[in-house]
Chain A
């Protein structure tokens, strides 16, 4: 489906435990043209190529985005540091909204499928990607996970990225929005320490706010830092444990999904 010219040599990436490889697909080094070569002459020359290094990922991301648009799927890229409570937040969200609209989850972790198992126990389809040595999900892995999940029309697809505030910022997955989760146990200066990620976020959820009375976390300073790296960013304070503020996040999900479905019709309904 999405993987036209799949040069994946990522031997360590596993999707639901299966090694992802394409035999003979990736061009071996030195497969280039070995002809047209006068003996004894090695004509060194300059070539202008002007190629963006992330262009390949961006191509896959574009393909994902087109697929999501065509299939009425709203994909959200959830990014945070490890331990921000991303999976708990997701489990609570899925439990609250499972009657509202279809949902699906792609779980990215370096190893284990514990998170996907947690999601499936709520009754929501989930695929686990283990990145092996990799520190982020890329658009190509996500494309294959989507093939496996085939989310239905009108679904919200949560892509839980690897817990890492650095690398996932640079890799577009084809998502509709990046949602960054920052927990109050982490310190209010995270947005300044990891500006790339908070700059790229469309929505920031400040999680574990039930713990605020016990911490020195300065919420207003944190908000000021967020605005500094991302003046237009939307911020919601929530507690996935007590449920505080979660209604607003659900509302954001409902309304964003609705607005993105305007004009998108399933193919079967098109005249």
Chain B
């Protein structure tokens, strides 16, 4: 969803950080995307290249670290892996699973010069 806006957000962060961290070019970007963040990684890669054109990140290599969705099952009181938001608890089949992680979408690290 809205991968184009997300990439524009990324480039804005890279530009803001350029002033703070004193760099002129971004060569590589490590991005963490949770399984429940609603992001289509293929679309994100496509948009990233397009949005970076003419910016300080033109031609930058995008690395995507996909992290699993995590949840807490209220019925069996344990941490479980959540593949999709509406999936039942893999242990007891209950749908009372509170998502606790895997919704994040953040830039972790950059290689800059």
Q: Report the minimal beta-carbon distance from B47 to chain A, rounded to whole angstroms.
A: 12
Contact yes or no, B113 A42, CB < 8 A:
yes
Give Cα A43 to B9, complex, Å: 26
Query: Does B84 have its Cβ within 8 Å of any Cβ on chain A?
Result: yes
**Mask of A178-219 contacts with B, CB within 8 angstroms, 1/0:** 000000000000011001100100000000000000000000
Task: Evaluate whether A29 and B111 lie within 8 angstroms (CB atoms) in the complex, with A50-B106, A170-B38 already known.
Answer: no
Q: Which of A166, A192, A227 contacts B1 (CB 8 A)?
A: A166
Contact yes or no, B15 A46, CB < 8 A:
no
Contact yes or no, A49 B107, CB < 8 A:
yes
Residues on B with C-beta less than 8 A from A136 are 2, 5
Contact yes or no, B86 A45, CB < 8 A:
no
Task: Evaluate whether A196 and B112 lie within 8 angstroms (CB atoms) in the complex, with A135-B2, A231-B95 already known.
Answer: no
Contact yes or no, A53 B23, CB < 8 A:
no
Query: Does A57 have its Cβ within 8 Å of any Cβ on chain B?
Result: yes
B-side interface size class: 35 or more
Residues on B with C-beta less than 8 A from A57 are 9
Query: Does A4 have its Cβ within 8 Å of any Cβ on chain B?
Result: no
Contact yes or no, B24 A34, CB < 8 A:
yes
Contact yes or no, B109 A47, CB < 8 A:
yes
Task: Evaluate whether A29 and B17 lie within 8 angstroms (CB atoms) in the complex, with A43-B113, A56-B12, A170-B38 already known.
Answer: no
Contact yes or no, A32 B56, CB < 8 A:
yes
Query: Does A264 have its Cβ within 8 Å of any Cβ on chain B?
Result: no
Q: Which of B2, B22, B85, B109 contacts A167 (CB 8 A)?
A: B2
Query: Does B18 have its Cβ within 8 Å of any Cβ on chain A?
Result: yes
Give Cα A54 to B34, complex, Å: 13
User: What count of chain A residues pass the 8 Å CB interface test?
Assistant: 45
- CB contact list, B96-113 vs A, under 8 A: 96, 104-113
Residues on A with C-beta less than 8 A from B106 are 50-53
- CB contact list, A20-60 vs B, under 8 A: 27, 29-34, 36-37, 42-57
Contact yes or no, B86 A229, CB < 8 A:
yes
Q: Which of A29, A34, A36, A133 contacts B54 (CB 8 A)?
A: A29
Query: Does A134 have its Cβ within 8 Å of any Cβ on chain B?
Result: yes
Query: Does A175 have its Cβ within 8 Å of any Cβ on chain B?
Result: no
Contact yes or no, B107 A50, CB < 8 A:
yes
Residues on A with C-beta less than 8 A from B19 are 27, 31-33
Residues on B with C-beta less than 8 A from A134 are 5
Residues on B with C-beta less than 8 A from A231 are 95-96
Query: Does A160 have its Cβ within 8 Å of any Cβ on chain B?
Result: no
Residues on A with C-beta less than 8 A from B105 are 52-54
Contact yes or no, A32 B38, CB < 8 A:
no
Give Cα A49 to B112, complex, Å: 12
Query: Does B45 have its Cβ within 8 Å of any Cβ on chain A?
Result: no
Chain B residue at smallest Cβ distance from A199: B85
Residues of A within 8 A of B (CB): 7, 9, 27, 29-34, 36-37, 42-57, 133-136, 138, 166-167, 169-170, 191-192, 195-196, 199, 227-229, 231
25 A-B pairs within 8 Å (CB atoms) are namely: A9-B8, A29-B15, A29-B55, A33-B18, A33-B22, A34-B24, A44-B113, A45-B113, A46-B111, A47-B17, A47-B21, A47-B23, A48-B109, A49-B13, A53-B9, A53-B105, A53-B106, A136-B5, A138-B5, A166-B1, A169-B38, A195-B85, A199-B86, A229-B86, A231-B96
Residues of B within 8 A of A (CB): 1-2, 4-6, 8-13, 15-19, 21-24, 27, 38, 54-56, 84-86, 95-96, 104-113
Q: What are the 3 tightest A-B residue pairs by CB atom distance, in nearest-first order? A: A32-B18, A29-B55, A167-B2
